[in-house]
Amino acid sequence: MSSPCYCKNLRDLTRKVTAIYDAELDAFGINIAQYSLMKLVINNHPVSLTRLGDIAGLERSTVGRNVTVLVRQGWLQVDRDGMDKRQQQVSITPEGEALLREAFPAWQRCQHILENQLGADNIRALQHIFHQI
């Protein structure tokens, strides 16, 4: 029986969806949170940690920890801003770009899996809901 709590139901849904993406992306040594963060970097590069947190909807400290893991893997790099040495600029490395290209078909498979499971009408409804909140 499903809970009447919208928050719990949404959290359960996101766990299930995350598991689909994580299973597909595991072969590339990455999870959907890391993939998404790298896509944000590539689409906004170079980007400060603070701005990346704003774009991702995460605390700067959380983004910093996640970026550190991706830097250790060689997929992102962090440099000091030339104008303001206190600011750290995050950019993607050539290895990170290659990883995203290789993992993209797996991400697309996940998109198709969800589209097939939910149907076009429900996907449109979800998109509508996302834009309402």
pLDDT, tens digit, for every residue of 56-84? 999 988 999 999 999 999 999 999 866 66
Domain ranges in the chain are 6-132
Q: What does the block give as tokens for 128?
A: 């509508």
**Confidence label for 111 from pLDDT (cuts 50, 70 and 90):** very high
Q: Which CATH number fits domain 6-132: 2.60.40.10, 1.10.10.10, 3.40.50.1360, 3.40.630.30?
A: 1.10.10.10
- Distance from chain centroid for Cα 118: 21
Alpha helices in the chain (DSSP H): 6-25, 32-44, 49-56, 60-72, 94-132
Closest CA to 113 of 126, 127, 123: 123
Question: What's the mean pLDDT in 3-8?
Answer: 86
Q: Lowest-confidence range among 31-35, 40-44, 81-85, 127-131?
A: 81-85
Mean pLDDT over residues 13-20, rounded?
96
Strands 88-92 vs 76-80: parallel, antiparallel or unpaired: antiparallel
Alpha carbon separation from 78 to 41, 45, 48, 72, 106 (Å, rounded)? 11, 11, 9, 11, 27
Q: How far is Cα 32 from Cα 123, in angstroms, rounded to an integer? A: 19
